[in-house]
Amino acid sequence: MVTCRICRQATQEVITFGPMPLANGFVQRVNGNDYVFNLGVVFCPSCFMVQLTETVPADKMFNDHYHFMSSTSQGMAVHFEGNAKEIIERLGDKPDPFVVELGCNDGIMLKHIAVHGIRHLGIEPSGNVADLAQKNNVRVLKEFFNQKTAAQIVKKDGQADVICGSNVFCHIEDINSVFAGIDVLLKEDGYVYFEDPYLMDIVKKSSFDQIYDEHVFYYSGLSVRELAKRHNLQLVDMVTQDVHGGSMRYYLKKGQSNPVNPRVEQCIAQEKALKLDQMTGYVAFKDNVNKVCKDLKKVLQDIKQVGHRVVGYGATSKSTTLLNYAKIGPALVDYISDNTPYKINKFTPGMHIPIKSYEAFLKDQPAYTLLLAWNHRREILEKEKEYRRKGGKFITFFPAVTIE
Ligand code: JHZ
């Protein structure tokens, strides 16, 4: 039995994928050993938190060899510039404000805060991406964030007006310690926002590839409201984000009597309509996931059988779950093209599909391309107009396998 990481009550199993390598565990050689753990998720009927069954020690995932760099997508660059603009607008004419971002990666958001001369700090434990943030003139602390780090920051810089994190709050197993840290670091009139893949989108689209070692929690309004309450914070707003296949941004304030945007109740009502507050809401998920895998594998096999080649687009973290669970390897996908220099000439975790440069893809013009970075579909389809004009086709798979 797995105990809930938030409220210590018993959880119920949603799905088990079995042994799985690390999502960003790209290897140098095909005969290299993959670190594996047992991937699955459970639901807590007491505080509604959906979470990993088993976790991997944080320093195995986030270290000086982290493979994901936020600035590889133009769409995300625009999105994060928008986040920075919103922060600046909300700060208004507050004197000498201080903005702290947890998991600032390569500084994709904070560099826009820095350029305005606003006091800021990025907390980033992955040394190699933190170095990139520093090159972007972002002030960085190379640490994991918790109560102790929060106290150190307050001592040096004072309390923060804004604490934020994008695709990071769902990564931290001891999220209670993060919230305890927020209590120390946040000013009484400050606010917190964080955005992560939205549980409702994952369930609705069966986008199970969002489930991997780095994503410990799958948040909803239901679970965030409970989590916040435990730490004397209040969920005051929720705004959907059209990124990463459907994300939600949660806004929190200190205390329990802040004005709450009616959107919070509306979102939670939608989650309840989908029964995400009960085990019933998760029962069909497993069957839907298995159907997507079966259908996708069949399409890839059929294409191979008639003599065409398939390559992948985007060696994403997510695709580690999809490829390993569906057992899609180099026999079905020749290689995966990616624009991250750090990933090129390596092999995907577990299935060991070679990763090639974007230039290799451009030269190749394969008949079919499996869009593993499906969350960047709009941006990639726009960029690959010429590939499609010449007859190239993209295969996507959520909520159902589609060739376009
Ligand atoms: P992308 C990462 O997940 C990891 P991933 C992390 N755990 C998380 O939560 C999310 O981000 C937010 C490449 N690419 O964004 C770049 C191209 O080659 O879906 C990336 O390697 N050409 C922190 O890894 C990958 O695809 C392109 O035109 O699942 C995309 O990875 C574009 C747009 C991307 O996140």
SS3 call for 201? helix
Q: What integer pLDDT is reported at residue 397 of this predicted model?
A: 97
Residue 137 CA to residue 151 CA, distance in Å, equals 24
**What are 322-370's pLDDT values in tens digits?**
999 999 999 999 999 999 999 999 999 999 999 999 999 999 999 999 9
Does 125 contact ligand 1 (Cβ within 6 A)?
no
pLDDT in tens, 192-231: 999 999 999 999 999 999 999 999 999 999 999 999 999 9
**Alpha-carbon torsion 107, 112, 114, 118, what sign?**
negative
Distance of CA 369 to the CA centre of its chain: 23
- Residue of 201, 339, 375, 378 best suited for mutating to test ligand 1, as the one with most atoms within 8 Å of CB: 339
Whose CA is closest to atom 7 on ligand 1? 214
Best mutation site among 60, 338, 356 for ligand 1 pocket (most ligand atoms within 8 Å of CB): 338
Rounded CA-CA distance 185/164 in Å is 12
Alpha helices in 117-207 (DSSP H): 127-135, 147-157, 175-185, 199-205
> Structure pTM?
0.97
Q: How confident is the model at residue 185 (pLDDT cuts 50, 70, 90)?
A: very high
Ramachandran angles phi, psi of 198, nearest 5° = -90, 130
Cβ atoms of 66 and 128 closer than 8 Å:
yes
Of all residues in the chain, the percent with pLDDT exceeding 90 is 98
DSSP string, 89-123: HHHTT-SS-EEEEES-TTTTTHHHHHTTT-EEEEE
Q: Tell me, what's the pLDDT at 29? A: 87
Nearest CA to ligand 1 atom 1: 316
pLDDT of 343: 97
Distance 105 CA to ligand 1 centre (A): 13
> Mind spelling out the 3-state secondary structure of 85-98?
HHHHHHHCCCCCCE
Pocket lining: 161 vs ligand 1, CB cutoff 6 Å:
no
Which atom of ligand 1 lies at the shortest distance from residue 373's CA?
19
Which atom of ligand 1 is nearest the CA belonging to 318?
29
* Residue 32 pLDDT > 80: no
Residue 319 in contact with ligand 1 by CB distance below 6 A? no
Spatial distance between the Cα atoms of 329 and 316, rounded to a whole number of angstroms: 15
Does residue 212 line the site of ligand 1, with CB under 6 A?
Answer: no
What is the C-alpha to C-alpha distance for residues 244 and 260, in angstroms, rounded to an integer?
26
∠ CA 41-42-44, nearest 5°, is 150
Q: Pairing mode, if any, of strands 119-123 and 98-102?
A: parallel
Question: Alpha-carbon torsion 82, 88, 91, 92, what sign?
Answer: negative
Can you tell me the distance from the alpha carbon of 125 to that of 165, in angstroms, rounded to the nearest whole number?
Answer: 13
Q: Give the span between the Cα atoms of 396 and 404, in whole angstroms.
A: 8
Q: Chain-wide mean pLDDT for the chain?
A: 97
What pLDDT, on the 0 to 100 scale, is given for residue 31?
Answer: 78
Q: What pLDDT score was predicted for residue 33? A: 80
DSSP 309: -
Structure-block tokens of residue 68: 């994901």
pLDDT digit string, tens, across residues 279-326? 999 999 999 999 999 999 999 999 999 999 999 999 999 999 999 999
Closest-lying ligand 1 atom to the alpha carbon of residue 379: 33
Reported as a single tens digit per residue, the pLDDT across 51-77 is 999 999 999 999 999 999 998 999 999
What pLDDT sits at residue 30?
83
Percent of the chain, pLDDT > 70? 100
Cα angle for residues 293, 57, 226 (degrees, 5° grid):
75
Distance CA(343)–CA(315), nearest Å, equals 8
